[in-house]
A = this chain, B = another copy of it.
């Protein structure tokens, strides 16, 4: 095995193909073969061959005129199926969150600088939350968003903020970059984030991370009217939320083998 540092037996060409997809996903627009060469360190011929394979299956797209590459439409459908599936096997944890808090529980991921809600378990209250599955919100206004940002390298955070700006949604939204960075640091240290009417008046939200094999975490939250989620109640709920967070992460990371123990949480 050429790349001995990677875990177990991994298929080189598949890994490289995935690398390509990820580089393409991260890029703001289309990329040429040479750019990909620089980004991945692979020889052009190899990249071309890999791309040809992805191309023929619709996983990559090549602009007919510029000949540059980007992600293909096939991934849209796959992503949708994956989201549905992801929501399904995260459901037990969401249910747990909903039951321990009595409020609606959400699952979200960071996608193209936006927070996207992937699954939800609604509370039984008459007054419930509004976010719908599939909704896209800005990270800096939401608790899940702050969690998703807090556990990524600073440069990613910076890119996201540069792209979105920090528009205010309510009087309490954090619109100052310095303050946001301080808050994110705190979130990373504490392991949770709170949104106290920063996205919507009267709505409060508490979020915790879920770490998986993916380098970016997902986030789970509970959200409800501020009247029901005051500081006192939050203090009571939080320890149990953190515990669920850790449990869910452990479940995701254990791929059935006790050999690999990559603990990632603070």
A residues neighboring B (CB under 8 Å): 6-11, 13-15, 17-18, 21-22, 25, 29, 49-50, 52-59, 61-65, 67, 70-86, 88-89, 109-112, 114, 116, 118, 134-136, 212-216, 218, 251-252, 254-256, 261
Verify B255–A62 contact, CB threshold 8 A: yes
Q: How far is the CA of A28 from the CA of B10 in the complex (A)?
A: 27
What residue in chain B is nearest A84 (Cβ atoms)? B112
Tallying the copies of this chain within the complex gives: 2
Q: How many Å lie between the Cα of A62 and that of B62 in the bound state? A: 33
Besides A55-B213, A73-B212, 5 more A-B contacts (Cβ < 8 Å) are A8-B52, A10-B53, A11-B53, A77-B214, A80-B114
Q: How far is the CA of A261 from the CA of B76 in the complex (A)?
A: 24
**Within the assembled complex, what's the spacing in Å between the Cα atoms of A22 and B77?**
10
Q: A67-B256, A112-B81, A256-B67 are in contact. Are A56 and B7 (CB under 8 A)?
A: yes
Q: Assuming A52-B8, A53-B14, A56-B8, is B214 touching A81 (CB within 8 A)?
A: no
Nearest CB of chain B from residue A230's CB, rounded to whole Å: 33
Q: Which DSSP category, helix, strand, loop or mixed, fits chain A's interface?
A: mixed
Is there contact, CB below 8 Å, between A49 and B89?
no
What's the minimum C-beta distance from A231 to chain B, rounded to whole angstroms? 32
CA distance A169 to B29 in the complex (A): 39
A145 to chain B, nearest CB (A): 14
B64 engages A254 (CB within 8 Å): yes
- Per the bound structure, the CA–CA distance linking A89 and B53 in Å amounts to 20
Q: Which of B73, B81, B110 contacts A77 (CB 8 A)?
A: B110
| Residue in contact with A79 in the complex, picked from B18, B29, B75, B88, CB distance below 8 Å | B75
CA gap between A254 and B63 in the complex, in Å: 9
